[in-house]
Amino acid sequence: MTPNDFWTISPLLTISIFAMIVLMVDLWLPRDRKGLLVFISIVGLIGTAGWAISLWDKHQTAFGGAVVADNFAIVFQVILTIVAALSILLSEKYIQVKNINFGEYYALLLFSTSGAMLMATSRELITIFVGLEVLSIALYVLSGFARTEPKSEESALKYFLLGAFSSGFFLYGIALIYGALQRTRLDEIASLPITALSSPYAIAGVAMLIIGLGFKAAVVPFHSWTPDVYEGAPTSVTAFMSAGAKAGAFAAFIRLGVAFGSVSGAFHDVLWVLAALTMVVGNVLAVQQTNIKRMLAYSSIAHAGYILVGLLANNEQGRGGILFYVLAYTFMNLGAFGMLILLARRGQELNSIDDLKGLGRVNPAAGAVMTIFMLSLGGIPPTVGFFGKWFLFMAAIHAGLNNLAYLGLLASVIGVFYYLRVIWSMYFEEPTREFPSNIWDLSYSVGAPTVMVICAIASLLLGVAPNLLWPVCANGGQSLTAPMTSTPIVSSNAPPSTAPAVPASITTSPVVTQ
């Protein structure tokens, strides 16, 4: 091990060290003075993001090539620190009201984030599996953190059992790939001849990896846990899970897609069907929901389908689109869950869509902010959700996947229905419950209102000016293949018709370029 190795993983070291500091400091704090842990956690996340940004354009590898700090990994790491920071700020008062104000909560959030970051920066299968388990085990505990509520315990048990089963698939897939190829490093696998990658054992191993990651990303038909866990887990945990776990899973998905690009034809039709089912099933089932957390759960499944479209495009624009979409989804989805947390501050959870009736009349500011998040999730301009889908679908069209892009547009239209239903309830129906008179009261909570403002501004600003973010995401997508460009197999299996480079002008005007 060299100093360069530790510099390469400095973001991971930073967040892990601060998670342990949170545990140690918690030993000396009374239960009603846990606010210091929020401060320590946020400082740790800022330091983590700072270390990650310092590695920009360095393209360093560490520990024998198992870990790489390319721009793709750095963008994902920064996104994950944003997800964690927003989730922690949302949690401060919520876990007090829920009477689950324990220091382990913040440490588990940080450890889970570190696992997702490891998945994003790994290019070795065993290391990806370690990251997956660190991410998952912390989430199992967080799902059941409201230990006095049967629904929370039930969600944790379901999540644990199905998660352990999917981890078994992933690990067995690694074993088959190693048995067939005698390698677990993705850059080495990508350099093998196509005859080796096409062996039955390697194909079966990749199929099992897809099952394992498909569960974590909530891809149909591996989605059955999602609505139950989202409904039963504490709302702040659900908010983190909806963005953080999905980001880690798709980061690993993309790296696997690059490594096994030469045999992608064997899985193209399978992934096409998975993407189509995920988009359609997620939106159709969301229409039928009356519980708002279950509705957002099925919505999350549909959004995983949109991200799969970018993965199937298998080009730099699609990978950059995934990075853009994951960050956009972070702001609009955490904002929606954050509003539920703000409105439930008296200890009364909002379970039904009917609970939002009349919100826009009673509290116009809260109604307007929630409307921004619903429109963004539906992909309505000028919100960031529109451009998130635009980049993914245009990448699919450039890759010749016109039918899948059109199906995604149709699924999005279905999704608009249930998002508009929430807006209708807020503005055109009479209230059925009493709302807090001033949910923006900073004397009650600084974190949650701050998150709402940040998410609302980001959802609008990045929708009006997506070029503020797109160049960084495009760079991340382009850097992903840099360590593997020396092998002729990868380049020969990425013809211009299926993997076009992002036009140079898209960084300044994506709409005009398309």
- Write the pLDDT tens digit of every residue in 461-479: 999 999 989 999 988 888 8
Q: Give residue 132's pLDDT.
A: 93
The burial class, CB within 10 Å (0-12 / 13-18 / 19+), for 421 is middle
CA angle 51, 58, 508 (to 5 degrees): 95
Q: Please give the structure tokens belonging to residue 351.
A: 């379970």
246-299 pLDDT, tens digit each: 888 889 988 888 888 766 666 788 889 999 999 999 999 999 888 888 899 999
Q: Give residue 504's pLDDT.
A: 38
Q: Give residue 481's pLDDT.
A: 64
Q: What is the CA radius of gyration of the chain?
A: 22
- To the nearest whole number, what is the mean pLDDT of the chain? 85
Average of per-residue pLDDT across 290-319: 89
CA–CA dist 121, 340 (Å, integer): 33
What are the helix (H) ranges across 182-199? 186-190, 194-197
CA–CA dist 355, 433 (Å, integer): 7
Q: Please give the structure tokens belonging to residue 250.
A: 């798709």
The residues, any chain, with a CB within 8 Å of residue 346's CB and separated by 6 or more, are 97, 436
What are the helix (H) ranges across 289-428? 292-313, 316-343, 359-362, 364-378, 384-398, 402-428
Candidates 207, 272, 205, 216; CA nearest to 249 is 216
Average of per-residue pLDDT across 68-82: 92
Q: Give the N- to C-terminal CA distance of the chain in Å, as an integer.
A: 46
The residues, any chain, with a CB within 8 Å of residue 424's CB and separated by 6 or more, are none
Average of per-residue pLDDT across 225-233: 87
Q: Please give the structure tokens belonging to residue 424.
A: 């209708």
Residue 433, sorted as left (phi over 0), alpha (psi -120 to 50) or beta, turns out to be: beta
Q: What is the DSSP string of 267-324?
A: HHHHHHHHHHHHHHHHHHHHHT--BHHHHHHHHHHHHHHHHHHHHHH-SHHHHHHHHH
The structural domains of the chain, with segments of one domain joined by +, span 3-513
506 has a pLDDT exceeding 50: no
Q: Give residue 285's pLDDT.
A: 92
CA–CA dist 206, 461 (Å, integer): 39
The amino acid at residue 131 is G
Candidates 362, 381, 360; CA nearest to 423 is 360
CB-based contact 249:222 (threshold 8 Å): no
Candidates 371, 493, 352; CA nearest to 433 is 352
Q: Please give the structure tokens belonging to residue 354.
A: 């009917």
CA–CA dist 505, 514 (Å, integer): 10
Candidates 277, 289, 372, 305; CA nearest to 333 is 372
The burial class, CB within 10 Å (0-12 / 13-18 / 19+), for 459 is buried
Q: Give residue 128's pLDDT.
A: 93
The burial class, CB within 10 Å (0-12 / 13-18 / 19+), for 7 is middle
Annotate 22-44 with b (16+ C-beta within 10 A) or e (fewer).
bbebbeeeeeeebeebbebbbeb
Q: What's the Cα-to-Cα distance from 437 to each of 36, 152, 212, 362, 441, rounded to whole Å?
A: 28, 29, 46, 8, 9
- Angle, helix 265-287 to helix 292-313, in steps of 10 degrees: 160
Q: How many residues make up the chain in this entry? A: 514
CB-based contact 333:370 (threshold 8 Å): no
CA angle 121, 505, 499 (to 5 degrees): 55
Q: Give residue 140's pLDDT.
A: 93
CB-based contact 352:292 (threshold 8 Å): yes
483 has a pLDDT exceeding 60: no
12-59 pLDDT, tens digit each: 999 999 999 999 999 888 777 778 899 999 999 999 999 999 999 888
Candidates 107, 39, 44; CA nearest to 81 is 44
Give the DSSP H/E element, type plus range, for residue 69: strand 67-69
Percent of the chain with pLDDT over 90: 41
Q: Give residue 373's pLDDT.
A: 93
Q: Give residue 482's pLDDT.
A: 53
